[in-house]
Amino acid sequence: MAEADGVGPTIAAALLDWATVDWHREVVRKWREAGVRMVDERAEGIPRTLAGLTIVVTGSLEEFSRDDAKAAILGRGGKASGSVSKKKTDFVVAGEKPGSKYDKAIQLGVPVLDESGFGVLLADGPDAARAVTLNPPAANPPE
């Protein structure tokens, strides 16, 4: 559990401690009986083309709300992030009025996609999307 994204040893230990309390397990049992989903129910027909990738969406997209874009990324195994980092961000999707996240991506040499490129990324994966980025990769981007 400690190896899951966003979970470390402290949170994992706290969750395990929480699960040892009888009335906590009873609450979970009641939630399950009431229909609460206990696992991520990703549609099986969606390929995990973004597994291991982190994508930042900035600005307004025409075909996707912010939540829809995030769901599309997560459903394909990717991580949706709110900040741009040279070492942790694989793509930035820039819609209308993208602001400082777009500027930072350009400065750091992170590949930027428009909404059409986002569609390519979702459908065909990162290799196909790199061919349609808005910015050429920087030769020696700043760290």
pLDDT one-digit tens code per residue, 90-133: 999 998 998 899 989 988 999 999 999 999 999 889 999 988 89
Q: Report yes or no on whether pTM surpasses 0.75.
A: no
Same domain, 116 and 67: yes
Q: What are 60's strand-pairing partners?
A: 96
Among 26, 102, 15, 25, which Cα is nearest to 58's? 102
d(CA 74, CA 104): 23
Same domain, 58 and 17: no
pLDDT at site 46: 76
User: Total structural domains in the chain?
Assistant: 2
The domain that contains 83 carries what CATH number?
Answer: 3.40.50.10190
Tell which wins on pLDDT, 106 or 6: 106
Residue 125 lies in a domain: yes
Residue 13 lies in a domain: yes
pLDDT of 38 strictly over 80: no
Domain of residue 35 covers 1-39
